[in-house]
Structure 1
Amino acid sequence: MAPFIGSLTVPGDKSISHRALIFSAFSTGKSRVLNCSPAHDVESSAECLRKLGLKITRDEIGVFEIENNGIDSLVAPTDILDAGNSGTTIRLMSGLVAGRPFVSKFDGDESLRRRTMKRVFEPLRELGAQVSAREDTFAPFAITGGNLIGKSFELKVASAQVEACVLLAGLQADGETSVTAPHTVRDHTRRMFEYIGIPFNQNSKTLSVKRLAKPVDAYELTVPSDISSAAFFMVAAACSPGSDLTLTTVGMNPGRTLIVDILRSMGASVEIENARVLCGEPVADIHIQYNGRLKGVAVPPDSIASGIDEIPILAIAGALCEGEFHVSGAAELRHKESDRITSLCDNLKAAGVKVEEQPDGFTIQGQKTIRGGSPWLTHLDHRLAMTGLIASQVFDAQLDIDDPSCMSVSYPTFADDLAQLVGSKT
């Protein structure tokens, strides 16, 4: 296996990019978003906003400019709001239009149509929006908004997307709307509210808002690099002898650092350097050196929300560690673009990994080497595809990945960046 050597700046954070675009609906003037994620998911959010009347352009270096005149300037869409593959788009946009006095129709691709929307529909209905949906659960669906009345919600499952959806609706509701999470979630919404000037109150795990009295001023925001994208290269370097890799300007939101915490607990050499704040978000450079000391750990179930998307790539580190690597409390993985627990375990077994699937996770018996050389089925899931490409680098023989094109959903240049670091195309 080739070492991962050098420096890389991965694309802008997808979660923050969605919010930077969608929250501009509450602004007046021309906002600019720099280093926005090139992911197809983020373009889905931009296109939905265009259909609501926002003027949005993107230049050749990826800078978005958004012109708007406040939330009241949004217009009823004459076309379906197509979220593509993006769960973030469809959930946050649902909250945005729930406060508007018109009908908005949503749809998505085949994968998104299989993902439940109940955790969004229920609070929006309680706020006063009308929702009609396929089987009362799935896209396509329609939301008739307006006349919302604020309410308090306690989330049974921590979800930054559901929290943001409810708060976006709450900014258009009479009275106060509050959301309490069972434990800490990524707080991009709170940080961006503060950065762009949307008033809110926070008390422990509860975030509350009232109807926005007037539009916020247009803003300029630079998006940090995506830690979920950086995670693939962190694991690759930790597993590949001779690696010495620095990932620059990576978002270090406290609700997103599971990948760092788990790799360190496994014994990997992961150093955080040049810590600073960028547009309200903590960022740093991450330096990873191979040391051959990976050992098995049990990922704490109550920490899963801080890195649910990184569990598949962490499984590759688990496959090459000494001892047992165990994940539980991750049943949410079954409701992503694919059933990531079954899909991941099936692919790992085919490659020679000793893995046992459980309802809410899996257990891996680590080995010094993994034979590889097997098919790797992506199920059109971008994170499975990227996990497969890294596994193909660190296992003994390359994998036959059936459809890597789905990586464009979140990281269109992933294969090129990987080739740059290891010196050969994959």
Structure 2
Amino acid sequence: MKLKIANKSNINTKVSVPGDKSISHRSLMLAGIASGQSRVSGLLEGEDCFSTLKCMEKLGVDITRDNSGTYIVNGVGLNGLKEPADILDCGNSGTTMRLLSGLLAGRPFYSVLTGDRSLNSRPMDRIITPLSKMGAEIWSRQQGLAPLSIRGGNLASINYNSPVASAQVKSSILLAGLSTKGITYVNEPAQSRDHTEKMLKAAGVDIEINDNTIKLNSSGQPELKPLDINIPGDISSAAFIIAAGLITENSRILIKDVGINQTRTGVLDALKMMGAELTIKNKRVSSGEPLADIEACSSNLKAIEISGSLVPRLIDEIPLLALLATQADGDTIIKDAAELRVKETDRIKAISSELKKLGAEIEEYPNGMKIKGNTELKGGIEVDSFGDHRIGMTMAISGLIARNGIIVNNSESIDISFPDFEKLINNL
């Protein structure tokens, strides 16, 4: 599929973005193992989240959608999950595979998880190692690649020092920890997004957060309580619309009801460092998650360095920040982001390759890149998403300022996280 984007300016509008993908995944899983009926509103109706939904249904959880887009999840309890009669297809979703592996590691039955070509090329040893130490039997292809076969049950608690700051790794261990009779610790080198911890606490789980250490006590753990969840707009999706407002001339865009969890707002911090004209309005809390309206206006950006503890808080937005860096005054440096090499595609290589087609000057490093600013982007050409939704959306935003716009090939991948993205961008 091809997505054609025209050059734009003078945008003045108010929009909303789809529900947060991370929270959507977790809400389906935790509601599924709660004891009783949960209500999930604002679920991201994208391919990744539907992969989680279908997997939970194969595990015996009844999930229905009402006319308002709200999902009713009839939880079966942690011990009520059933051995699946078929392979669990996680599609393109790393969150589905890694978190479900943790959940299934504690269940006394056999299951197999697979995904598409992209997912089956991504590293799973980062969860296989801790889950195996807890007592799960897990088989994989060489180098820890999916498909994964899991025979769970009889887990022991663990005190695990994670080599990476990864919410997926942390969440996988915590979900496995629910099936132990002790105290599970996860220690991270830096804080990653904390949606799992917030949701577990809301469900009545004894969990504590102390800096970069999470403690989960499942001794005598009661059943998880049903949840009533209102999912805020995804800040990772909102970031693309914010970028549109910042780099197009004479523009002002208001994005309504966006989640501003502090473990996810690294992109806002980076943009403010760059001199972006951003206003956060109407702050409030819903279902334990902070949200607000965000206004972005045309801005004169300056180059910065993105590195260290900031990186885990904006890892998904780095390709977009690379685009913005081409319009900033000076040379932007991005470091400590080797994790981008093992996403849906090698995002450092992909974004460097496609922005260079537009005339950007980028020096690629093993763990980041250097981007020259004040660059006029040429258009009227075709670029590729490489089947990666975030690369596809970043290149679409570049078309707003490229001469004669651009065409993004393989743009169907965008539906993974942002259904109706094409309609929203073309209607700005």
Deviation string 1:29-64 (CA, Å, 9 cap, x unpaired) is 111100011111001011110011000112343211
Match 1:255 to one of 263, 275, 282? 263
1:239-250 paired onto structure 2 within 5 Å: 239-250=247-258
Kindly state the Cα deviation for residue 4 of structure 1 after the two structures are TM-superposed. Answer: 3.0
| Match in the other structure for 1:360 | 367
Q: List gaps (5 residues or longer) in structure 1.
A: 422-426
Offset, 1:400: 2.3
Q: Give the whole-Å Cα distance in 2 for the aligned partners of 1:69 and 1:406.
A: 33
Cα distance, 1:52–1:320 mapped onto 2, change above 3 Å: same
User: Given residue 204 of structure 2, which amino acid in structure 1 is its aligned partner?
Assistant: G
- CA shift for structure 1 position 136: 4.9
Structure 1 vs Structure 2: percent identity of aligned residues?
A: 39
Matched, 1:227 2:250: no
* CA displacement at 1:419 relative to structure 2: 1.8
Unaligned runs of 5+ in 2: 1-7
Contact 1:58 1:64 in 2 (8 A): yes
- Deviation track 1:306-351 (CA, whole Å, cap 9, x = no partner) reads 0111011111111111111111111111101111111110111111
The alpha carbon displacement at 1:222 in A equals 0.3
Aligned residue-pair number: 420
8 Å Cα contact 1:3/1:237 also seen in 2 = no
Structure 1 residue runs of 4+, over 4 Å off? none
TM-score (norm 2): 0.96
Contact 2:277 2:297 in 1 (8 A): yes
Match of 1:171 in 2: 178
Provide the aligned C-alpha RMSD in A: 1.2
- Alignment partner, residue 269 of structure 1: 277
1:117 aligns with 2:131: no
Check 1:242–1:87 CA distance in 2 against 1; reply closer, same or farther (3 A cut): same
1:230-260: CA deviations, max 9, x gaps?
Answer: 0001111100111111111111111111211
Matched, 1:339 2:346: yes
Q: Helix, strand or coil for the counterpart of 1:207?
A: strand
Shift of 1:2: 2.4
Distance, in Å, in 2 between the alignment partners of 1:368 and 1:235 is: 16
Q: Which has the higher contact order (CA 8 A, sep 6+)?
A: 2
Which residue identity lines up with residue 286 of structure 1 in the other structure? I
Amino acid at match of 1:74: L
1 CA distance for matches of 2:210 and 2:202?
18
Please name the residue that 1:419 is paired with.
426
Shift of 1:368: 4.8
Partner amino acid, structure 1, of 2:211: S
Match of residue 301 from structure 2:
294
Q: Which residue of 1 aligns with 2:381?
A: 374
Q: Distance in 2 between matches of 1:223 and 1:192?
A: 12
Match of 2:75 in 1: 68
- Distance, in Å, in 2 between the alignment partners of 1:204 and 1:306 is 15
Query: 84, 97, 107: which one pairs with 2:91?
Result: 84
Partner of residue 28 from structure 2, selected from 21, 45, 56: 21
The residue that corresponds to 1:5 in the other structure is 12
Task: Map 1:27-42 to 2 at 5 A.
Answer: 27-42=34-49
Deviations along 1:329-382, whole A, 9 cap, x unmatched?
A: 111111011111111101111110111111111111112521133321111111
Evaluate the alpha carbon distance shift between residue 397 and residue 232 of structure 1 in structure 2; reply closer, same or farther with a 3 A threshold: same
C-alpha distance in structure 1 between counterparts of 2:76 and 2:355, whole Å: 51
1:235–1:316: 8 Å Cα contact kept in structure 2? no
